[in-house]
Amino acid sequence: MRGRVFKAGLTALAACGLAAAGFGQATVATFADPSTGTPPLFWVTDTTVLGSWTGNGLTLDLFGTNYNNVQMNMPTVGRAGNLLGPGVVFFSNGANPNLFAISFTSGFIGEPTLLSGQNSIFANNGVQFYYHGSLIPGLSQQQFAFSFANPLGQGTALRTYTGSLTSSAFGTPEPFTLVLGAAAFGLGMYRRRRRAD
């Protein structure tokens, strides 16, 4: 029994150490393109970008958990050439009106000339991720990208696209995680000592 308690304490300490070292880069949220062209997800002009999906078929993978039939709303974002101003992207479904959100202070759009292998919309400046309306703590180097597909209206004032999402961040430990790991180790050592007496 003492060996099991001591092992549990060491496991907690190891977890605490891994948390202190910080986690590597991880995927935050992704979705595959839910449309084949109509309706589109993005409406783009030379000065604005707007995103919306109100139909079915968008499955948002959020930290490895799938949410089906998610709706997306990206209110109009200003653009000057290939540079985007600040914006926010909201995700919701019937059970979760504030499921997930991404905010950013600026970004890049590779449009109207889409280069092969280039993200159509990319942002890593001032990116924040929110879950159920609250900022997700302990993240750094957040970034996201939309990849456009199925272009329509090329050469006109209004172009439309479908798209998919990728996003990632580096994880850093929350203080509570460190305290919990240290407390578990301390409790294990205390119990071991009491049983040895």
**Residues 68-94: pLDDT tens digits?**
999 999 999 999 999 999 999 999 998
Residue 116 in domain: yes
Residue 184 in domain: no
pLDDT at 154: 83
pLDDT at 111: 85
Closest Cα to residue 106, out of 80, 129, 89, 124? 124
Residue ranges of the alpha helices (H) in the chain? 2-21, 175-196
Residue 187 in domain: no
Residue 135 in domain: yes
In three-state secondary structure terms, 181 is helix
- Which phi and psi angles does 31 have, rounded to 5°? -150, 145
C-alpha pair distances (Å), 186 with each of 11, 16, 56, 183, 190:
12, 12, 50, 5, 6
By the 10 Å C-beta count (0-12 exposed, 13-18 middle, 19+ buried), 62 is classed as buried
Structural domain count, the chain: 1
**Running along the chain, 197 residues long, what does each successive block of 10 average in pLDDT?**
39 34 80 95 96 97 96 98 96 94 96 65 96 95 94 90 95 46 46 55
Residue 10 in domain: no
- Which phi and psi angles does 68 have, rounded to 5°? -90, 155
> Is the sign of the CA dihedral 133, 138, 141, 147 positive or negative?
negative
Two tokens at 20? 């202190």
Residue 3 in domain: no
pLDDT at 197: 60
At residue 172's C-alpha, the angle toward residues 167 and 173, to 5°, is 135
Per the listing, tokens 């999402």 go with 165
Q: What is the domain extent for residue 166? A: 20-172
Residue 28 in domain: yes
Residue 45 in domain: yes
CB 146 within 8 A of CB 34: no
